[in-house]
Chains A and B, each alone.
Chain A
């Protein structure tokens, strides 16, 4: 990164909400960070007109005078990458909120600066290279235990290479103390900066063939996505976007979660901050907070920082991907980011595209989702050594106005992401959660994941999945008939389909995020549940074939046992299920005899 020899200093000539104009800024680059006014508010250059620049400011601009100084820093918007990120809570421009609280109290002041990584804290560094070795970007210099389960790999920054002249011995170092030196004198520390708007490079993109499991039945069974994939979750207010994103953050099989609260509620963030340190990650036994980084920019914080927050989150996620970890990025909500783009664009008096959004909206959204992927990480490797593989999966919430999916943000996101988990207000009104509409949702990853499920999921998974999907489709068709002529006009066979598909909806697709036993569902339980319902269906068909009326079947009390199966915990589920299925079969066969 080029550092300006002397900082350009200009004067403020216009203030319009989150946007300012400054004169006398010749030589300043697009995307460069500025310090604006006496308070030194942080801003980013977004347009240059000769000596005049336009900038978006990440803090409230009220009370400033024209003529105040604007200082260019020579640097693009960057984040600090190094040990100490996990468990932290940052604002959109990577200032630790705890530090801000210490300096300005419970309300966020202005013009505060705070470094992202603790400068005092010592990390136990164990080198894995030695002097004389050639290294290049992405190579591991050493490791440090960041949390009890995550060993942080100290990487050579991308685009840096050379022969190691010196490597620090194992010991405790701060993020600023050099741990290695290249020939030519360049010192490497455990921390390096990276500009947020530049994707971090990787060696090779790999096909998405491993599932990103969320432990949510409707998602993993019907619309699974792959590690390195992306999904969007659009839904009107109250449809449960946030609950879905939070449930995923808690239970998904990623090792690191970056949760970006972009333009959303402060109280929700407070909930996460209260809850996560107490929750235990089922995969590791450590607290959830220790695998989570929160980037929080609530709706009442400045709009320009929303733009920064999604990129900050993405870059942090990429950094952990580069260490060979599976990372999930949750962005709640990308629509607020798009609205920030719209607001800035309108202040710039750009010609608007659809619904006032700037014409480059789709470019930005596409570029964002394209930063996902399962990759072979950058770094040299010895002959025969297996490459380090990391993945970055993104799930973006979308908040379509009025729940109307035809709006530009939903449409654009749908085009570039690989899966749509469409949340439906009508389902939410009936307290069918997660309110994922099975008719509208899709996943393009399923074909690529079939092989994995075939090998790793309980036997019969793909078949049962297909049967469940067909049943739900059949229900749709029958419901159209019922709407016209009433349920009385249906045959028992058809009524059975309605009855069983209702069981699929209520006992399988619905999942109670607030119940200890049900909130997180493993593949065995998932399969067991759908299998039990479908066995019931098959047995009932046999009974009906012997002309026993459906009303007789509906009187059976074992149906209730079937319905309550989902409240059984994952542990020991299969045995419970086998018992219930046996009793269902028995009860049904007894009907046959009578």
Chain B
């Protein structure tokens, strides 16, 4: 704490001049530094917290976390609490539950901090970053096989209301730490504006899966002050960075629901009378979100890592809505859930085509998964996309108008959704996923599988008939026919 602020600590000032929405204006704007945390003393004795957003000579803008109801300009006073918003960091936080700004809500006393860190953090120097390349086996085929998650990645889940995203997130959490190594693992859970039911689900599910003691939870529920949501992900990530980069933990951060976070951001922006951007969200939302998402990664020479799974609801299932859109531009891919698949009873209902993992290539291949993993995935992707196209075409022109090859693709697509995607809650190893993929390719003629190297196709390809039964081959029809050239 600087000298200047030290002497003002706990001195009360009756500076309030204007109150609107979550904000209050203070006269004598040069009293506090920007970013400072103030105590706001209400006339009835209640104390709330606020943060200085902006300072000018004449006034400062104070954002009051617990809302402005009951705040007046006569009796309410403010005093400096801290230079910046900070959070107590120690390994004792593991297993504890906090509210959205880091106060304990599990009935236990506050933790004794080893360090108090500014929740804003600072940017990791890009040259200090280690390129993420450790494969995390999540046990979910759609992720492991096609959109591989690696340590240090940020891979969001885009969901629509009513889709079982929480269950998918839980599945990932349960499996992510159990890769065949004994690195210490911890889940940091940051909840923003989710319902009590969802909170209960997560906490219980973590507990039942045996991860309860490895969870640090920061919970801002739907009925908690919206402004606190601005702090929640930053508290969670500050603790995550501390555990990863100072205590060598492998940290998985699950943040839900970023849509509520962005709405809180919009609320403050509109109270500050800023020029709104798309759909009323502030123009700096990309930058703001990046200061959350970019706090994933690994650092050269350190063992720990911060992996992020942010979850967000696409309003009206619209992936072009500013929240998923800006998120997708920052994160390293996305997992998108599909309503039609969910209706068909496929779990997890992952809409594979718009999904992506940008870091997949670093985590797969020889010595990690299989040398042909990328080709295998490309082949199935391309075939599934072709099948989807044919399915749409069929809806218009009818099945009779399709060609023989089209029908094979259709069979493949149906089987793919049922067998590959629809794995239920069972955990699948990457080898299981590969085996299913090779089996499904059997629905297609061998000559269609040009994305995989010929030797690899020869090794794994087993043709299936339309009912999905293996075709006994006496003569491999494509193998020996014709003269091989180009080899």
Which A residues are within 8 Å of any B CB, using their own CB? 13-17, 21, 60-67, 89, 97-98, 100-101, 104-110, 236-238, 242, 261, 263, 265-271, 273-275, 296, 298-301, 303, 336, 339, 342-343, 346, 352, 355-356, 399, 401-404, 425, 428-432, 482-489, 506-507, 512, 514, 556-561, 563-565, 567-568, 576, 579-580, 583, 587
Contact A299 to B34, CB < 8 A, known contacts A567-B453, A576-B486: no
* B297 CB to nearest chain A CB (Å): 6
In the complex, the answer to whether A65 meets B353 with C-beta atoms within 8 Å is: no
Tell me, in angstroms, the Cα distance from A60 to B362 when the chains sit together.
32
Task: Enumerate chain B residues within 8 angstroms of A567, measured Cβ to Cβ.
Answer: 453
Is B382 in contact with A65, judged by CB distance below 8 angstroms?
Answer: no
B126 contact from A273, A430, A568, Cβ within 8 A: A273
Complex Cα gap A556–B400 (Å)? 25
Contacts of A563 in B (CB 8 A): 450
Contact residues in B for A431 (Cβ distance below 8 Å): 378, 381-382, 385
Q: Which of B172-204 contact A (CB under 8 A)?
A: none
Residues of B within 8 A of A507 (CB): 450
A336 / chain B contacts, CB cutoff of 8 Å:
286
Considering only residues 120-177 of chain B, those with a C-beta below 8 Å from chain A are: 120-132, 152-153
**Is there a chain A Cβ closer than 8 Å to B467's Cβ?**
no
- Minimum Cβ distance to chain A for residue B292 (Å): 9
Query: Provided the pairs A265-B294, A401-B325 are in contact, do residues A339 and B286 lie with their beta carbons within 8 angstroms?
Result: yes
Residues in B neighbouring A105, C-beta threshold 8 A: 125, 128
Chain B: residues with Cβ within 8 Å of the partner, total of 91
The answer to whether B277 touches A303, judged by C-beta atoms less than 8 angstroms apart, is no
When the two chains form the complex, which single residue of B54, B278, B330, B482 contacts A16, counting CB atoms closer than 8 Å? B54
The 8 Å CB contact of B129, one of A266, A343, A486, is A266
A267 touches B297 (CB 8 A): yes
- B284 and A303 form a contact (CB under 8 A): yes
Complex Cα distance, B299 from A373, in Å, reads 39
| Contact (Cβ within 8 A) A339 B294 | no
Are the CB atoms of A238 and B152 closer together than 8 Å?
A: no
A-B contact pairs, 18 of them (CB 8 A): A15-B55, A62-B35, A97-B125, A97-B127, A237-B329, A266-B124, A267-B132, A270-B126, A298-B294, A299-B290, A346-B274, A356-B275, A429-B354, A429-B385, A431-B378, A431-B382, A482-B397, A484-B397
B152 touches A267 (CB 8 A): yes
CA distance A208 to B4 in the complex (A): 61
Contact of B329 among A66, A399, A487, A488 (CB under 8 A): A399
Q: Is B315 an interface residue (CB 8 A)?
A: no
Within 8 A of A (CB), among B265-304: 274-278, 283-284, 286-287, 290-291, 294-297, 299-300, 302
- Tell me, in angstroms, the Cα distance from A268 to B361 when the chains sit together: 12
Does any Cβ of A come within 8 Å of B104's Cβ? no
Instruction: Tell me whether A61 and B124 are in contact (CB under 8 A).
Output: no
Among the listed A299, A559, A561, which residue makes an inter-chain contact with B294, where contact means beta carbons less than 8 Å apart? Answer: A299
B412 CB → nearest A CB, Å:
15
Given the known inter-chain contacts A98-B127, A107-B124, please indicate yes or no for A564 contacting B450, CB distance below 8 A.
yes
Determine whether B74 belongs to the interface, using a CB cutoff of 8 Å to chain A. no
Contact status B403-A487, CB under 8 Å? yes
| A66 B56 Cβ-Cβ under 8 A | yes
Given A98-B127, A401-B278, A429-B354: A107 and B122 interface contact (C-beta under 8 Å): yes
**Which chain A residue shows the least CB distance to B334?**
A238
Judging by beta carbons under 8 Å apart, are A343 and B283 in contact? yes
Contact A486 B123 (CB under 8 A): no
- Chain A residues whose CB sits within 8 angstroms of the CB of B127 once the complex forms: 89, 97-98, 101, 273
Check if B374 is an interface residue, CB within 8 A of chain A. Answer: yes
* Contact among A66, A270, A298, A356 for B30, CB-based, below 8 A: A66
